[in-house]
Copies of this chain bind each other. A is one copy, B any other.
Amino acid sequence: MDPGKIVYVLDLFGVAVFAVSGSLAAGRKRMDVFGVIVLGLVTAVGGGTLRDILLDIGPVFWIKDPAYLLVAVVFSLMTFSYARIHSVHRMGFLISDAFGLAIFTAIGTAMALNTTESYSVAIVMGVMTGTAGGMIRDVLSAEVPLILRKEIYATAAFCGAIAYIIMITMAFPAFTCLLISAIVTLAIRLAAIHWGLSLPVFVVKEISSKPDSGD
């Protein structure tokens, strides 16, 4: 199996796990099967779509290759069917999201380096690609975005993107960098979920000089 093929499989795997997380989010909101498919699809392809639009690679990937849609719809339906019968742990949602975050951050970082030479741009593109699908999912399902929770989330994606950059400057093959980057993000994110790790949070001590009528 050549590296390009492995990246493609990894990409499809990212779409599949994000579709699962989107469908599970839909399930918390009592949606019907087509609503579940829409939320699964949007979560699955959202990050990559933003990536292709920002890098001006159009039409976007799932228009060129319908296999992505097929995978997203099939996994949304499988999640729908499974969760109608079995109980699922909240953990299932968090873990499928963590896999999607890890894979798309790595692929987003790698693809940005085809367009730009700037490492900072590549890191930002990686983090955005990894987090956008989940953000859209959380906004559409009217939940507080995971990235806003005090658990380590954007941090994990940042570390994964930086790992990719460090390894590529050390001339490792792109596929190795991709894999290590995804593993770094995933390890940090899963550790944060498992042990409830968090960084010091930022609390604005707010003074209202006048009553804030708008709130």
Tell me the minimal C-beta distance from A96 to chain B in angstroms. Answer: 13
In the assembly, what is the distance between CA of A10 and CA of B72, in Å?
32
Cβ B62 vs Cβ A121 within 8 A: yes
Q: Out of B83, B144, B213, which one reaches A142, CB within 8 Å?
A: B144
Task: Decide if A7 is an interface residue (CB 8 Å cutoff).
Answer: no
Known A-B contacts A54-B59, A59-B55; the reply to A83 vs B202 at CB < 8 A is: yes
Cβ B135 vs Cβ A204 within 8 A: no
Known A-B contacts A58-B56, A90-B208; the reply to A148 vs B154 at CB < 8 A is: no
Q: How large is the interface on A (under 10, 10 to 19, 20 to 34, 35 or more residues)?
A: 35 or more
Chain A residues within CB distance 8 Å of chain B: 23-24, 26-38, 41, 49, 53-56, 58-60, 62-64, 66, 69-70, 73, 80, 83-84, 86-91, 112, 115-116, 118, 120-121, 124-125, 127, 131, 135, 139-142, 144-155, 158, 196, 198-209, 212-214
